[in-house]
Chain A
Amino acid sequence: MTTRWRLAAPLSLSLSLAYVGFAGDASAQQYLIGASLGLSSGIEGGGAAGGLFRTRTRLRLGADLRVDEFPDDIFEFAAVAELEPKAGFGADARYARAAGEHFIVDAGLIGILAPASLYGACAGLDYRLPISKRTQILFGPEADFYFLGSDLPDGTVIWELRLQAGIRADL
Chain B
Amino acid sequence: MAPSFGSCGSRQASVRTFERRRPRRRAAAALLALAAVVVVACGAAGDCLRFSDCDQGLTCAFGHCVLPPPPDGGSAEPDDDGGDAATTTTTVTDTGSPTVISPTTSDASTDAGTAVGTDTGTDASSD
Interface set of A (CB-CB < 8 Å, partner B): 41-54, 86, 88, 115-116, 118, 141, 150-153, 156, 158, 161, 163
Contacts and interface: CB of A to CB of B under 8 A. Distances in A.
Contact of A158 (B31, B38, B50): B50
Nearest to B30: A141
B49 interface: yes
A44 B49 contact: yes
A150 B50 CA distance: 9
A49 B64 contact: yes
Nearest to A161: B34
B117 to A, nearest CB: 33
Interface in B31-85: 31, 34-35, 37-38, 41-44, 47-53, 60-64
B62 A49 contact: yes
30 contacts: A41-B38, A43-B38, A43-B41, A46-B49, A47-B48, A47-B49, A48-B62, A48-B63, A49-B48, A50-B63, A51-B43, A51-B44, A51-B47, A52-B37, A52-B43, A53-B42, A54-B42, A54-B43, A86-B52, A88-B52, A116-B50, A118-B50, A151-B50, A152-B50, A153-B49, A153-B51, A158-B50, A161-B34, A163-B31, A163-B35
A153 to B, nearest CB: 5
A141 B63 CA distance: 26
B23 to A, nearest CB: 11
**Chain B at the A interface: mostly helix, strand, loop or mixed?**
mixed
A153 B52 CA distance: 10
A141 B50 contact: no
A86 B56 CA distance: 12
A45 B47 CA distance: 11
B37 A43 contact: yes
A163 B120 CA distance: 52
Nearest to A45: B49
B63 to A, nearest CB: 2
A122 B60 CA distance: 24
Contacts of B37: 43, 52
B61 A153 contact: yes
Given A52-B41, A53-B42, A88-B52, 7 more contacts: A42-B38, A43-B38, A54-B42, A118-B50, A153-B51, A153-B61, A158-B50
B51 A151 contact: yes
Contacts of A151: 50-52
Nearest to A48: B63
A118 B52 CA distance: 10
Given A47-B63, A50-B63, A53-B41, A141 B48 contact: no
